[in-house]
Amino acid sequence: MKGNILVVDDELGIRRGCQRALEPEGYNVETAVSLQEARQKINSFSYDLILLDVMMPDGRGMDLLAPIQTQDPETVIIIITGYATVDLAVQAIKGGAYNFISKPFTSDQLLLTVNQGLEKRRLSLEARRLQAVEQQAKALAQAKEEAERLSEFKSRFTFIVAHELRAPVGGAQSLLRVLTRGKAGVLTDKQREILQRVETRLDQLMVLINDLLDLAASKTMAADETLPMTPLGPVLREVMSHFAVEAEQKQIVLHYEAPAESFVVQATEHGLTRIFNNLVGNAIKYTPVGGVVSVSVAVVPPHNVAITVRDTGIGIPQDALPHLGEEFFRAENARQSATIGTGLGLSIVKHMVASFGGSLTIASVEGQGSAFTIEFPRCNPG
Ligand SMILES: Nc1ncnc2c1ncn2[C@@H]1O[C@H](COP(=O)(O)OP(=O)(O)OP(=O)(O)O)[C@@H](O)[C@H]1O
Ligand SMILES: [Mg+2]
């Protein structure tokens, strides 16, 4: 059906004529002989177009304009006017009718006017739809802006709180060291044991504070911040030697493999160290005694370098994979295998890698092991 049309006219000839002209063109045409009948039809149905006689036996067609527009503001109204009622037609157009057609009219004249009217309706509806889409887009943009503002506020708040906690916790650590080193008098074994436990707790608290600081810093890093050129090799070798003792204690073989050439990436040394300390630290933490942890560097043509930290550990359950890197997320098998951990390490890694223009991909099979690969654009030609 091309459109629903209502013909409101008391003259049978006009009603029939309109039906004869319009129905073969694929329009659904209904008729009303009085304003009262027209009102009933308008109230129960939304027409695309209404042909409306200005002079009706029970009133003026004009009186229907308001009810039609209330029902559907985009319904096109075409006034049917006789020679003597042109003034009324002009008034009706001022009141919102789209056009008028003068009696007597031919089928072609009627079709032309109706088609123009329906084209106008189509365009109005399209404009309205676009306006709605535009408004939705605006609302979405506003919501996104608000979410970003809140997220930045959260990061800044975290940064300030963590920063303020650092000094008193650091102070307490120093004071405690005076006691545990016996520099403030001799301690009983029991006292020393208790104080050492307090010291361990404070060390953990300091790690958490530093994690929160790094996380907030990596999130608020400005996109245009200029980063230094940092050679990757020395950072990785430093990280490997940092974990040598821990790996040996767990009888884990630590393996490092890199091509002879050196790679320079655009990143801070502190950031790179944090990234690989987290990844290698996790690999050792989540690999049982006797396993293997390997770090390998490889060229990814044309301009990237990839560093993969691979382990033969507990792996990551399939359903946990999408959540890795969410703040404080720890998979169930990880909680069981290592009770200590806050679940901040990978979020720091994720944000830092992103702020250095790199990418992180994770592959893992539960019970077999995991591989964390970081890809950076390299600054020196390979
Ligand atoms: N090498 C790995 N093998 C298995 N699971 C891992 C590995 N690395 C990360 N995960 C999973 O990802 C989670 C998040 O890692 P993340 O480093 O953020 O936290 P964490 O090591 O538990 O605690 P911390 O904040 O002290 O680093 C871990 O709890 C664990 O479920
Ligand atoms: Mg970790």
**74-83 pLDDT, tens per residue?**
999 999 998 7
Q: Is 0.75 surpassed by the pTM of this model?
A: no
Name the β-bridge partners of 3.
27
In this predicted structure, the answer to whether residue 318 has a pLDDT above a threshold of 90 is yes
**Closest approach atom of ligand 1 to CA 344:** 25
Quote the pLDDT of residue 49.
Answer: 97
- The answer to whether the CB of 17 is under 6 A from ligand 1 is no
The CA radius of gyration of the chain, in Å to the nearest whole number, is 39
Q: Using one digit for the tens of pLDDT, what is the confidence trace for 250-261?
A: 999 999 999 888
Quote the pLDDT of residue 87.
Answer: 85
Quote the pLDDT of residue 382.
Answer: 47
Distance between Cα 166 and ligand 2 center (Å): 21
195-209 mean pLDDT: 93
- The answer to whether the CB of 331 is under 6 A from ligand 1 is yes
Report how far apart, in Å, the C-alpha atoms of 237 and of each of 8, 256, 282 are.
89, 8, 17
Answer for the pair 72, 45: CB distance below 8 angstroms, yes or no. Answer: no
* Start-to-end Cα distance in the chain: 67
Which ligand is the nearest neighbour of the Cα of 308? 1
Domains plus CATH for the chain? 3-105 (3.40.50.2300), 141-220 (1.10.287.130), 229-377 (3.30.565.10)
Distance between Cα 338 and ligand 1 center (Å): 9
**Closest approach atom of ligand 1 to CA 332:** 31
- The answer to whether the CB of 278 is under 6 A from ligand 1 is yes
Distance between Cα 349 and ligand 2 center (Å): 10
Nearest CA to ligand 1 atom 8: 282
- The answer to whether the CB of 369 is under 6 A from ligand 1 is no
Q: What angle do CA 186, 188, 192 make, to 5 degrees?
A: 90
